[in-house]
Amino acid sequence: MKILALYSIKGGVGKTAGAVNLAHCAWRDGLRTLVWDLDPQGAASFYFRIRAKVKGGGRKLIRGKRPLIDQIRGTDFEGLDLLPADFSYRHMDQDLEVTRRPVRQLTQLLQPLSDEYDLVLLDCAPSITLVSEAVFVAADALLVPTIPTTLSLRTLDRLAGHVAKKGRRRAELLPFFSMVDRRKKLHRRICDGDEARRGKLLEAVIPNATIVEQMGIRRAPVGVWAARSAAASSYRKLWREVRERVGL
Amino acid sequence: MIAFELRSQRQGRAVLTELKQRFSTARGQSDRHKRTCFDTFDWRLWKAGATLAGSRHGSEWELHFSRDDGGAEQQERTPAPPAFAWDLPLGRLRRDLESVVEMRRLLPLAELEHRSEELCLLDRREKTVARLRLEGWLVRGAEAKAAKRLPPRLVAVPVRGFERAFARLLRFLEEQGLERASRPVLGRAYELCGLQPGDYKAKVQSPLEPDLPAHLAMRRIHRQLLDTIRRNEEGVRQDLDSEFLHDFRVAVRRTRSALSQVRGVLPLERVTRFREEFSWLGGQTGALRDLDVYLLKLDDYRASLSEQAAAGLGALEDLLRRKQKSEHRRVARALGTKRYRRLLSEWESFLADEETPDTPPAGLTPIGEVARDRILQAHAKVIKKGRAIGPTTPDRKLHRLRIDCKKLRYLLEFFRDLYEPRQIGKVIDALKGLQDSLGDFNDLTVQQDAMEHFAEELTDSGAPSTALLALGQLIANLAGRHDEERRRFHEQFERFDRRKVRKRLSRLVESAAR
Ligand SMILES: Nc1ncnc2c1ncn2[C@@H]1O[C@H](COP(=O)(O)OP(=O)(O)OP(=O)(O)O)[C@@H](O)[C@H]1O
Ligand SMILES: [Mg+2]
């Protein structure tokens, strides 16, 4: 079982869109896939039409008082499941704090699922907190949607430094350009620039596309209702590249 | 997933229409595919509750593997239809499949054509909370031309976390007067092809009653062994996998063992000739089995060597494959001879002829008594010889003991049906532990000799030095395990030679001999 996290310090960059669409691509490939919606706002749960609520609240779940498996729900795609968000996840830092080894806690919680799933995608809330620390330890790779601006590249460097800092087994960093608008000069310059060419970022690029925005109305991955769109095909390309990189 | 069997497609449609009226639904995916179903000759997948099916997609094969005990279906693409688990790309499917079928060949048994349409039950959010699938199936046997139709089914599929909706769906289906399907599709399909899943067992177990005259009991046992020989013959001839020959040989050896150990109950003169002939047959196949075993062990060999030495195993593998091929040709020729065919047909009529006047008087003794005498005798021999083995006893005595244990084991198995199953099972298990250690010990010596022999051959044929390095290391490893295996023997023998085991055995054999 591989664990991949859609993660970024910044909000609104396409993490949730990435998690939902990549999960759908993985499911298409026949992988048994689980999305864990870690964001108290529950956007990923919403896209899968599942109520953002866990029975008994997030605290018991995070402390390991209730097995994750009991809270998992099937999506509309047989073999693609969701562990829903809960509003109480906004206290997840405190809930982790009281466990024996907070940064290992997510790893520990996910461990029993390793026979059930081939892939777990974590849709993280934006920020850098104890939860993110735990994600860095649990995940095999961090998929970081990056809008092509100078600032975001600098943030990426800082993140890389931070993730690499401590000696433990930590996630590999796999950033990719997100919401790219090739009409914008800056986007073009950065996407075609040195950083990108040095292989720091994945090759696949997710364009800025209204199709992706419309997911909020359709409440389904783009591959379902706009399979031929450029956006859907860019997610497929991203998926293939990620799959290759993490050896799935 | 719960399946309901239907009388007709029309009945299924009517249920779907009714469902549409009563619940909020949406059309789900419809599906159509045609897949070849695989299993091993001895039904390993079937027995493990697993299914392997595949179909051609362009130049590739797409395989689907699933298990009844849950877990999603696994898929894999391969360049060719699967023959052995080890041909598949490394990964979970291969691991799971290999743990079930091991070294047995995957045989295409039937072609299943599937067609389905689906209705999704929706909740307020228009989220799918359960599914109902109408499935139709056609099946065609490996050689058959015409396809046969299975009764259609309605399959209710739960969605994780929406158990209440699923319960509602089941209630609805039961209200419609539907009955749950009692058997899986695959079982029905195989039967329509004239196959009986699980009908092959390498083990003998003839139904016996303690007071059955011994000659009749032995005929029964022999008939079963003959059946095993016959059923494996074709697989041996085609060299489908190593286990056909293995089972074939074991049945021949058991036949010989029964003939020589249970003497005096069948007409002596005729039996002597059969014994000679079966001994000939056993001799024909020994070398091929040894080569099969070395080939199966190659992976273990590879793992036991340093990386550098392992690279040299290629030459040994080539040599083994060449030899295996030519040995197989020889065996296939032997199975084509008149001598072989005559042996089997004469043996068969001899076994069938139960009224023969030359049956000796001992043949009329109840089998329970004969079994007791033979088993006790064989057991006493094992105990006596085993106890005589000390730390300095030469290895060859252990090898002889191994043969005596095997004889005892065969007897226990022939007559198993006479005894209380749990008790006889325990005795056999204790013996098995001892046999395993003796078997491993013997293997070490035999392999060591063989490897030395191969090393000479490779030297003569000018093989690269890496090959000799590999063999040198292998031989050293085998030799290094000698003392350890001998120690294990003493442990195992002590466990077998306990009062409790001896008592259990004598109680058992007496129970069937009044
Ligand atoms: N490639 C894209 N093209 C156009 N719009 C996009 C694209 N990706 C995401 N969006 C839109 O941008 C908004 C934010 O996207 P998304 O929710 O995926 O980001 P996020 O990183 O998960 O945000 P948050 O940090 O709040 O969780 C959404 O309204 C989404 O529809
Ligand atoms: Mg989000």
Residue B372 maps to a domain:
no
For B68-82, give the DSSP string. Answer: TTS---EEEEESS--
The residues near A227 (Cβ < 8 Å, ≥ 6 apart) are: none
Average pLDDT over residues A41-51: 97
Residue B491: predicted pLDDT? 93
- Minimum-distance CB partner of A79 among B72, B127, B162: B72
Give the Å distances, CA to CA, from A118 to A171, B78, B419. Answer: 17, 19, 48
Task: Return the residue in B31, B60, B160 with the most chain A beta carbons within 10 A, the one to mutate for interface testing.
Answer: B160
- Angle at B213 (CA atoms; ends B208, B216), nearest 5 degrees: 70
Give the distance from residue A214's alpha carbon to the nearest chain B alpha carbon, in angstroms. Answer: 17
Residue B291 maps to a domain:
yes
> Any chain B CB within 8 A of the CB of A64?
no
Nearest CA in chain B to A84: B161
Residue B145: predicted pLDDT? 78
- Helix H or strand E segment including B60: strand B60-67
The CATH number covering residue A106 comes to: 3.40.50.300
CB A71 to CB B161 under 8 A? yes
Q: How far apart are CA B224 and CA B414, in angstroms?
A: 10
Q: How far apart are CA B43 and CA A133, in angstroms?
A: 50
Quick check: A237 and A230 in contact, CB under 8 A? Answer: no
Domains in chain B, number: 3
Residue B389 maps to a domain:
yes
Residue B405: predicted pLDDT? 97
Residue B70: predicted pLDDT? 62
Residue B206 maps to a domain:
yes
Domains in chain A, number: 1
Radius of gyration, alpha carbons of chain B? 28
For B291-317, give the DSSP string. Answer: HHHHHHHHHHHHHHS-HHHHTTHHHHH
> Running DSSP on this structure, what letter comes out for residue B112?
E
Residue A21 CB less than 6 A away from ligand 1: no
Residue A167: predicted pLDDT? 58
- Minimum-distance CB partner of B160 among A72, A115, A118: A72
User: Quick one: B12 and B52 in the same domain?
Assistant: yes
Give the Å distances, CA to CA, from B281 to B146, B228, B274, B336. Answer: 40, 15, 10, 12
Quick check: B292 and B242 in contact, CB under 8 A? Answer: yes
Q: What is the pLDDT of residues B112-163, one digit of tens each?
A: 999 999 999 999 999 999 999 999 999 998 877 789 999 999 999 999 999 9
Residue B141 Cα to ligand 2 midpoint, Å, equals: 52
Nearest to A86 by CA among A37, A23, A132: A37
At A9, the pLDDT band (50, 70, 90 cuts) reads very high
The residues near A246 (Cβ < 8 Å, ≥ 6 apart) are: A2, A4, A140, A141, A172, A174
Residue A166: predicted pLDDT? 63
User: Quick one: B206 and B351 in the same domain?
Assistant: yes
> Residue B336: is it exposed, middle or buried by C-beta count within 10 angstroms (0-12/13-18/19+)?
exposed
Residue B369 maps to a domain:
no
Q: What is the pLDDT of residues A162-203, one digit of tens each?
A: 887 765 667 899 999 999 999 999 999 999 887 776 778 999
Q: What is the pLDDT of residues A120-154, one digit of tens each?
A: 999 999 988 999 999 999 999 999 999 999 899 89
Residue B91: predicted pLDDT? 85
Residue A13 CB less than 6 A away from ligand 1: yes
Q: How far apart are CA B89 and CA B92, in angstroms?
A: 9
> Running DSSP on this structure, what letter comes out for residue B89?
P
Query: Maximum CA pair distance of chain B?
Result: 86
Other beta carbons less than 10 A from residue B262's beta carbon: 23
> Any chain B CB within 8 A of the CB of A71?
yes
Q: Which of A8, A9, A16, A211 to mutate to test the pocket of ligand 1 (most atoms within 8 A of CB)?
A: A16
Residue span of the structural domain in which B474 resides = 378-514
Sheet (strand A205-207) strand order = A73-74, A80-83, A33-37, A119-123, A2-6, A141-146, A172-180, A205-207
pTM recorded for the entire structure: 0.81
> Running DSSP on this structure, what letter comes out for residue B179?
E
Residue A244 Cα to ligand 1 midpoint, Å, equals: 25
Residue B260: predicted pLDDT? 93
For B404-467, give the DSSP string. Answer: HHHHHHHHHHHTGGGS-HHHHHHHHHHHHHHHHHHHHHHHHHHHHHHHHHHHHHHHHTT--HHH
User: Quick one: B160 and B21 in the same domain?
Assistant: yes
Residue B100: predicted pLDDT? 96
Which ligand 1 atom sits closest to the C-alpha of A210? 4
State which of B192, B213, B247 marks the end of a domain. B192
Residue B370 maps to a domain:
no
Question: Amino acid letter at B318?
Answer: D
Residue A82 Cα to ligand 2 midpoint, Å, equals: 15
Other beta carbons less than 10 A from residue A108's beta carbon: 15
Quick check: B478 and B455 in contact, CB under 8 A? Answer: no
User: Quick one: B247 and B180 in the same domain?
Assistant: no
- Minimum-distance CB partner of B162 among A74, A78, A118: A74
Residue A198: predicted pLDDT? 73
User: Quick one: B344 and B393 in the same domain?
Assistant: no
User: Quick one: B126 and B212 in the same domain?
Assistant: no
User: Quick one: B323 and B399 in the same domain?
Assistant: no
User: Quick one: B321 and B440 in the same domain?
Assistant: no
Which residues face B509 on adjacent strands? none
Residue B334: predicted pLDDT? 97
User: Quick one: B93 and B230 in the same domain?
Assistant: no
Q: Is the pLDDT of residue A119 over 80?
A: yes
Which ligand 1 atom sits closest to the C-alpha of A213? 31
Residue B182: predicted pLDDT? 86
Residue span of the structural domain in which A142 resides = 2-246
Q: How far apart are CA A102 and CA A131, in angstroms?
A: 8
State which of B171, B192, B213 marks the end of a domain. B192
The proportion of chain A whose per-residue pLDDT surpasses 90, expressed as a percent, equals 84
For B368-379, give the DSSP string. Answer: HHHHHHHHHHHH
Q: Which of A9, A10, A15 to mutate to test the pocket of ligand 1 (most atoms within 8 A of CB)?
A: A15
Whole-number mean pLDDT of chain A?
93
Closest ligand to Cα A145 = 1
User: Quick one: B483 and B415 in the same domain?
Assistant: yes
The residues near B95 (Cβ < 8 Å, ≥ 6 apart) are: none
Residue B74: predicted pLDDT? 83
User: Quick one: B119 and B266 in the same domain?
Assistant: no
Residue with the nearest Cα to atom 8 of ligand 1?
Answer: A14
The CATH number covering residue B106 comes to: 2.40.320.10
Q: Chains A, B: CB contacts under 8 A, how many?
A: 42
> Any chain B CB within 8 A of the CB of A74?
yes
User: Quick one: B25 and B166 in the same domain?
Assistant: yes
Task: Return the residue in A55, A76, A218 with the most chain B beta carbons within 10 A, the one to mutate for interface testing.
Answer: A76
Helix, strand or coil for residue B489?
A: helix
Tens digit of pLDDT at every position of chain B (514 positions): 899 999 999 999 999 999 999 999 999 989 999 999 999 999 999 999 999 999 999 999 999 998 887 666 788 889 999 999 999 998 888 999 999 999 999 999 999 999 999 999 999 999 999 999 999 999 998 877 789 999 999 999 999 999 999 999 999 999 999 999 988 899 999 999 999 999 998 777 789 999 999 999 999 999 999 999 999 999 999 999 999 999 999 999 999 999 999 999 999 988 999 999 999 999 999 999 999 999 999 999 999 998 888 988 999 999 999 999 999 999 999 999 999 999 999 999 999 998 878 889 999 999 999 999 999 999 999 999 999 999 899 999 999 999 999 999 999 999 999 999 999 999 999 999 999 999 999 999 899 999 999 999 999 998 888 999 999 999 999 999 988 889 999 999 999 999 999 999 999 999 999 7
